């Protein structure tokens, strides 16, 4: 216990006051949001209103998870963050493959995807071996999966099966692994912990989701594509996106970016996050389901909560790496 | 025996099962209740018993006994520890030499107010449900007070297909259906067919095992769900 206390004490005495203010602010915001959600859940009467509040509360709960992940990253170190993200990748891949038709011939390749590709990709992140980290899945796994499947000598839906397995690994493992990889970026002149970049990505992506939802509910009229995602509206996208970019610009103090650069980065995160959610919704429609899973009872699966981060993480990582390291 | 070994091993096994196959319970037609029940399930893989046990609420799990083969699970001290010590299994002789004793042992569990898990197909299927063996009928005749609850194990045959040593993690759902109605003077064949039908009608088409659409926002106005 005393070592935990020492860690906590050291954390508060050695950490930048700016960072403490920010974490305090984030925590306060979450508590307020949770209280509002609880009051709304108690007061709302109509079925449609109840659905909206339930959805909002699910999003607030996923914030808490994000904050908990981030706190674990700060207090327990980067290896814990890596293990947590590896677990998220594993669970997301499990959701994806569960909904994907597979045949006997795919079995060996899928086994490798779960028990070799996931640990290896995160090990590559942890060793900082950028060269292999960035091509391991798009090159080696890309070829290994169909090579293993073809040994099953079963041509039924071969292209479809292969493509779906490759997509699963790309989304759940490759794209997701770029979020914790931010902790290993070595940025000259940037003295704050790398976990703050991860916090920045998560905050902008999640706030963008929530603001788009809230703006859409309040002022949304023009539906973007009712056949794919009925809750997405033009008003929500513009209002929510701009709000998230404004906050992302304000948060430039925890990044190596200037305010203008931070605005550009936020624009990238918001745009990629929007398309991530949109593309994954289209896939769900194609597969005939509403949610990727039931991990969080009634609130969908891991992929439902990660969809915006899945697309924005690799872009944010590569832009930051290219221009700031 | 080390006192904490069995609970630790039990939690470890059930936790590992959840990490691999999710083992989500979906009560559709019956609710969890501490009454004597015969849960009868389709046999899809080696993980069936663990998955059904992991899906049961802890209070019921402690009073539920999977019926397992004595020749395999009684074969070594370790297997016996896992089956009997961790999973409360009732080991039965399936050679046919001691049918009366087996029936007595199963009936005794039900008469003491506890429950059983049975796999009446007797053998592992490949996603289809084979005809039932007659043990279920005789047990139901012997203890008419016990509820017969069908449990459809979904997706688990994809996790570990027959003859495949490797395991692919997928989310598996246990669907607990409505208890079978009691029908007076039903003959054996009709009863077994009815029980099997109850199990088959519980299962959903595979690869579409996600949450069915409900009233939440995203489910409205789809109009283009693909049927496979």
Give me the pLDDT at residue A295, please: 65
Between chains, do A94 and B213 touch, taking CB under 8 Å as contact?
no
- Buried b / exposed e over A134-172, threshold 16 CB at 10 Å, is bebbeeebbebbbebbeebeeeeebeebbebbbebbbbb
Is A165 domain-assigned?
yes
B2 compared with B17, residue with greater pLDDT? B17
Which H or E run includes A32? Answer: helix A17-43
Q: Phi and psi for B135 in degrees, rounded to 5?
A: -55, -40
- C-alpha distances in angstroms, B78 versus A90, B81, B83? 30, 5, 9
CA distance B138 to chain A (A): 37
In whole angstroms, what separates CA B18 from the centre of its chain? Answer: 15
Measured between beta carbons, the chain A residues lying within 8 angstroms of B208 are 99, 287-289
Closest CA to B114 of B50, B67, B76: B67
Residues forming beta bridges with residue B173, ordered by sequence position = B24, B154
> Is residue A285 included in any domain, yes or no?
yes
Structure tokens at B65: 């006994």
Which domains are delineated in chain B? 33-203 (3.40.1130.10)
* pLDDT over 80 at A267, yes or no: yes
**The predicted structure's pLDDT at residue B207:** 43
Q: What pLDDT was estimated at residue B225?
A: 35
User: Which residues span the domain enclosing A187?
Assistant: 84-324
State the pLDDT at residue A16.
Answer: 63
**Which among B173, B152, B220, B11 has a CA at the least distance from the CA of A95?**
B173
User: In this predicted structure, which of A64-73, A298-307, B69-78, B122-131 has the lowest mean pLDDT?
Assistant: A64-73
pLDDT at B224 over 50: no
- Is A74 inside any structural domain? no
Question: In this structure, are residues B138 and B103 in contact, taking their beta carbons and an 8 Å threshold?
Answer: yes
> Would you say how long chain B is, in residues?
228
SS3 B153: strand
- Per the structure, the count of domains in chain A is 1
Does the distance separating the beta carbons of B164 and A107 come in below 8 Å? yes
Mean pLDDT, rounded, for A95-124: 93
Q: What is the pLDDT of residues A232-251, one digit of tens each?
A: 888 889 999 999 999 999 99
User: B165 touching A, CB under 8 A?
Assistant: no
Q: How far is CA B76 from the centre of its chain?
A: 24
Of B158, B206, B210, the CB nearest to A290: B210
Q: Average pLDDT of chain A? A: 86
Mean pLDDT lowest among A3-12, B37-46, B90-99, B152-161: A3-12
Q: Sign of torsion, CA B67 B139 B188 B29?
A: negative
Among candidate residues B158, B174, B93, the one with its CA nearest the CA of residue B125: B158
* Interval A267-292 mean pLDDT: 90
Are residues B169 and A288, on separate chains, in Cβ contact within 8 Å?
no
Torsional sign, CA B5, B10, B13, B15: negative
pLDDT surpassing 80 at residue B63: yes
Residue B186: pLDDT band (50, 70, 90) is confident
Residue B182 has pLDDT above 60, yes or no: yes
Q: How confident is the model at residue A30 (pLDDT cuts 50, 70, 90)?
A: confident
Cα B45 versus chain centre, distance: 11
Let me know if residue A16 belongs to a domain.
Answer: no
Average pLDDT over residues A308-314: 94
Structural domain contains residue A288: yes
With H, G, I as helix, E, B as strand and everything else as coil, classify residue B222. coil
Under the banding of pLDDT at 50, 70 and 90, the label for residue B96 is confident
Considering only residues 182 to 221 of chain B, which have any Cβ-Cβ distance to chain A shorter than 8 Å?
A: 206-221
CA distance A98 to chain B (A): 5
pLDDT 10s digits, B22-56 = 888 999 989 999 999 999 999 888 889 999 999 99
- CA A217 to the chain's CA centroid: 23
pLDDT at B217: 34
Q: Does A23 fall in a domain?
A: no
Max CA separation in chain B (angstroms): 61
**Rounded Cα gap, residues A153 and A144, in angstroms:** 15
Q: What's the mean pLDDT in A271-276? A: 94
pLDDT of residue B189: 92
- Which chain B residues contact residue A55 at CB under 8 A? 216-217
Q: Give tens-digit pLDDT for B97-125.
A: 778 888 999 999 999 999 999 999 877 76
Q: Check CB contact under 8 Å for A290 and B218.
A: yes
Q: Which of A137-141, A240-244, B219-223 has the lowest mean pLDDT?
A: B219-223
Which of B213, B218, B225 shows the shortest C-beta gap to A231? B218
pLDDT surpassing 90 at residue A165: yes
* Pair of tokens at residue A253: 């103090």
Amino acid A148: pLDDT: 93
ipTM of the complex: 0.81
- CA-to-CA dists, residue A195 to A69, A241, B82, angstroms: 10, 24, 43
- Minimal CA separation from A92 to chain B, in Å: 10
* Structure confidence at residue A52 (pLDDT): 78
Give percent of chain A above pLDDT 90: 45
Q: Give the pLDDT of residue A27.
A: 78
The yes-or-no verdict on residue B212 having pLDDT over 70 is no
Is A14 a residue whose pLDDT tops 90? no
The shortest C-alpha distance from B222 to chain A (Å) reads 5
Q: Which range scores top for mean pLDDT: A211-220, B164-173, B202-211? A: B164-173
Contact B25, B52 (CB under 8 A): no
Asked, for residue A142, whether it belongs to a domain, the answer is yes
Share of chain B above pLDDT 70, in %: 87
Q: How far apart are CA B4 and CA A251, in angstroms?
A: 50
> Is A47 a member of any domain?
no
């Amino acid at each position: 216990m005393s070592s935990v206390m020492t860690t906590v004490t050291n954390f508060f005495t050695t950490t930048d006051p700016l960072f403490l203010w920010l974490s305090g602010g984030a925590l306060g915001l979450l508590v307020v949001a949770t209280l509002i959600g609880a009051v709304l859940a108690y007061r709302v009467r109509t079925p449609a209103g109840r659905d909206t509040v339930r959805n909002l509360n699910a999003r607030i709960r996923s914030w808490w998870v994000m904050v908990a992940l981030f706190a674990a990253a700060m207090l327990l170190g980067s290896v814990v963050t890596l293990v947590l993200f590896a677990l998220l990748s594993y669970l997301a891949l499990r959701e994806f493959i569960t909904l994907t038709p597979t045949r006997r011939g795919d079995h060996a390749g899928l086994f490798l995807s779960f028990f070799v590709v996931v640990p290896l990709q995160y090990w590559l992140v942890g060793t900082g071996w950028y060269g292999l980290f960035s091509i391991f899945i798009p090159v080696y796994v890309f070829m290994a999966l169909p090579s293993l499947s073809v040994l099953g000598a079963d041509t039924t839906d071969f292209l479809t099966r292969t493509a779906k397995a490759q997509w699963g690994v790309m989304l759940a493992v490759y794209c997701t692994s770029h979020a914790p990889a931010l902790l290993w970026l070595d940025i000259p002149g940037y003295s704050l912990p790398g976990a703050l970049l991860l916090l920045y990505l998560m905050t902008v992506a999640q706030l963008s989701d929530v603001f788009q939802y809230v703006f859409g509910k309040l002022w949304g009229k023009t539906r973007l594509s009712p056949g794919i995602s009925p809750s997405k509206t033009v008003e929500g996208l513009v209002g929510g996106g701009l709000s998230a970019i404004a906050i992302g610009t304000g948060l430039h103090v925890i990044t190596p970016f200037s305010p203008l650069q931070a605005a550009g980065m936020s624009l990238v995160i918001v745009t990629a996050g929007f398309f991530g959610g949109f593309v994954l919704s289209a896939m769900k429609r194609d597969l005939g389901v509403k949610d990727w899973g039931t991990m969080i009872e009634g609130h969908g699966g891991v992929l439902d909560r990660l969809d915006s981060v899945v697309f924005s993480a690799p872009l944010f990582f590569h832009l930051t790496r290219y221009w700031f390291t | 025996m080390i006192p904490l070994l069995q609970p630790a091993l039990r939690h470890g096994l059930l936790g590992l099962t959840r990490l691999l196959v999710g083992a989500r319970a979906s009560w559709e037609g019956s609710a969890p209740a501490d009454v004597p029940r015969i849960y009868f399930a389709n046999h899809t893989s080696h993980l069936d018993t663990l998955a059904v046990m992991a899906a049961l609420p802890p209070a019921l799990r402690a009073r539920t006994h999977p019926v397992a083969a004595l020749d395999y699970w009684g074969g070594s001290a370790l297997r016996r520890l896992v089956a009997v010590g961790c999973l409360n299994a009732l080991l039965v002789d399936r050679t046919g030499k001691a049918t009366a004793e087996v029936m007595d042992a199963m009936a005794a569990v039900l008469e003491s107010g506890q429950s059983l898990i049975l796999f009446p197909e007797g053998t592992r299927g490949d996603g289809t449900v084979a005809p039932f063996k007659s043990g279920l009928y005789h047990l139901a005749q012997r203890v008419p007070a016990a509820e017969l609850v069908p449990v459809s194990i979904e997706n688990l045959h994809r996790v570990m297909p027959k003859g495949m040593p490797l395991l692919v993690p997928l989310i598996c759902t246990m669907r607990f259906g409505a208890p079978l109605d009691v029908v007076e003077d039903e003959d054996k064949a009709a009863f077994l067919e009815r029980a099997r039908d109850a199990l088959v009608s519980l299962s959903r088409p595979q690869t579409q095992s996600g949450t069915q659409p409900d009233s939440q926002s995203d489910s409205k106005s789809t109009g283009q769900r693909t049927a496979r």
